[in-house]
Structure 1
Amino acid sequence: MSTNNATDFGILLNVAFGTFKIQLHKRLAQEGFDDLGSSFGYVFRMLEGQPGTLKQVASGLGITAQGALKVINDMVAKGYVERHDEPGDGRIKRLALTPRALAAMAEAHRFHMQFEHDLAAKLGASQVAAMRSALEEIHARASADGMAQVRPF
């Protein structure tokens, strides 16, 4: 399918994601969430609806517990995560999202929907539906390839 002059598919995916992420972070900054770290969104999704532990966050991010602790400490300092004692075991701290984190997630969700809507307005709904179908197929293969699934909104 590729010609010598065509940009490699992987490059297109990478640039598309990078562009999406830049626009998302601009929107979030405009809405008062200008202090998000690069891993915050992944942690938001891991903890959405179910508090977790530092060990679970580290595993989900594919980093050490020490690395995850740095991310969590930053999120706590910025008001996105709070720690709670685990009933029956004071050594374990449950990590939960704060209302500020939930508000950031809601704004990100609105951006996701608007981005897709705007793309459909420019390219046509059927084009974007086909693109979504292709991306969903790639996403479905992610777990088979050993990549952790990102929970959908």
Structure 2
Amino acid sequence: MPDRPVRGAAEPPGFELPLLLFAGFRSLIDQLHAELAVRGHPDLRPAYGFAMQAIGVRGATATEIGRRLGVSKQAAGKTVDRLEALGYVERVDDPGDGRCKLIRLTPRGLDSLARAAEVFDELRARWVERLGADGVARLESSLRTVVPDAGFPVDVPGWFG
């Protein structure tokens, strides 16, 4: 961590904002995965959650998954291979294109996403306990104001890659 420049107490250095946002994100994701392990999904990793979001409830091809994640088709394929070995996804013939395989979530994959949604609700409730309902609502509203309105990205694996 770089030395902190001398500033007034009311004006923190600019580099703290992205680090605090990332630390908050990381804290939530770490707590999510610890809880998912207890709830029957000990092998899930953050990248797998992004991949399952990229697959979605309708399924997707490896090319689509790679594009959504911001990684190559080969990298997406490796993640899909691991998710398939763990029982979270399956490959089926694509009814729209016989040359392609469609990757779909299995009941185990859908269960993991449902449990993750439950855990996120519980984690948000913990933040409400600590910050108050108004504080969390203000935080969410403020972030919606400054974050581009392009939906929620799942391309974090490619962005950090």
| Short-chain TM bin | 0.7 to 0.9
- The reply to whether residue 2 of structure 1 matches residue 11 of structure 2 is yes
Q: Is the 8 A contact 2:36 2:115 kept in 1?
A: yes
Cα distance change, pair 106–134 in 1 and its aligned pair in 2 (3 A): same
Deviation of residue 119 (structure 1)?
A: 1.2
Q: How many residue pairs were aligned?
A: 145
Which residue does the alignment assign to 2:85?
77
- The reply to whether residue 30 of structure 1 matches residue 34 of structure 2 is no
Q: Is the 8 A contact 2:93 2:101 kept in 1?
A: yes
Whole-angstrom CA distance in 2 between matches of 1:29 and 1:14: 22
- The reply to whether residue 13 of structure 1 matches residue 21 of structure 2 is yes
Q: Is the 8 A contact 1:60 1:148 kept in 2?
A: no
What amino acid does structure 2 have at the position aligned with 1:28? L
Mark the runs of 5 or more structure 2 residues left unpaired by the alignment: 1-9, 155-161
Deviation of residue 88 (structure 1)?
A: 6.1
Percent of paired sites with the same residue: 32
Q: Is the 8 A contact 2:33 2:45 kept in 1?
A: no
Whole-angstrom CA distance in 2 between matches of 1:76 and 1:135: 35
Whole-angstrom CA distance in 1 between matches of 2:64 and 2:42: 26
Query: TM-score by structure 2 length?
Result: 0.81
Which residue does the alignment assign to 1:65?
73
